[in-house]
Amino acid sequence: MLVKAYYLLFGLFASSWVFCLIIEGAKLTATLQTREFFAALGWGQWFRYFTGFLDVTGSVLLFVPRQTAWGALMLTCSVGAASLVCLFILRQYGAAAPLLFTALALTLAWLTRPRPKAKVEGLAA
């Protein structure tokens, strides 16, 4: 059972990283309509670079074992905000892909979250 959970976690990690590469590459190179998306948002191209930087930082943190949950949480916030923008503000852009990635990153953040160590009763400290 533990081996299956490990493969599930690795699959979530790998798929999150592939999505990160696609999203970051599109934001930083202004492809896949990202220039038009951020122009329609009205905040300028600096915001495209800022969110690209957040995505790069989150994906780098995925590779640091003790920081994986924080990187996934950073990606969840960044892409989750983008999916909300797609749903409620810029309705001409599809929100299915950002919502899927938000769910993947949130699941990865939950599975890799830091947990307190169990206390053992009856042992002297």
Q: How far apart are CA 114 and CA 13, in angstroms?
A: 16
In a domain, 117, yes or no: no
In a domain, 79, yes or no: yes
In a domain, 41, yes or no: yes
In a domain, 124, yes or no: no
Helix axes 2-29, 96-111, angle to 10 degrees: 140
Per-residue pLDDT of 50-68, as tens digits, reads 988 998 899 889 888 889 8
Contact 112, 9 (CB under 8 A): yes
Contact 113, 60 (CB under 8 A): no
Q: What angle do CA 79, 58, 55 make, to 5 degrees?
A: 50
In a domain, 123, yes or no: no
Report the number of distinct structural domains present in the chain: 1
pLDDT score at 15: 81
Share of the chain above pLDDT 70, in %: 91
Domain assignment of residue 68, given as a range: 2-111
pLDDT score at 76: 92
In a domain, 36, yes or no: yes
In a domain, 22, yes or no: yes
Share of the chain above pLDDT 90, in %: 14
pTM of the predicted protein model: 0.77
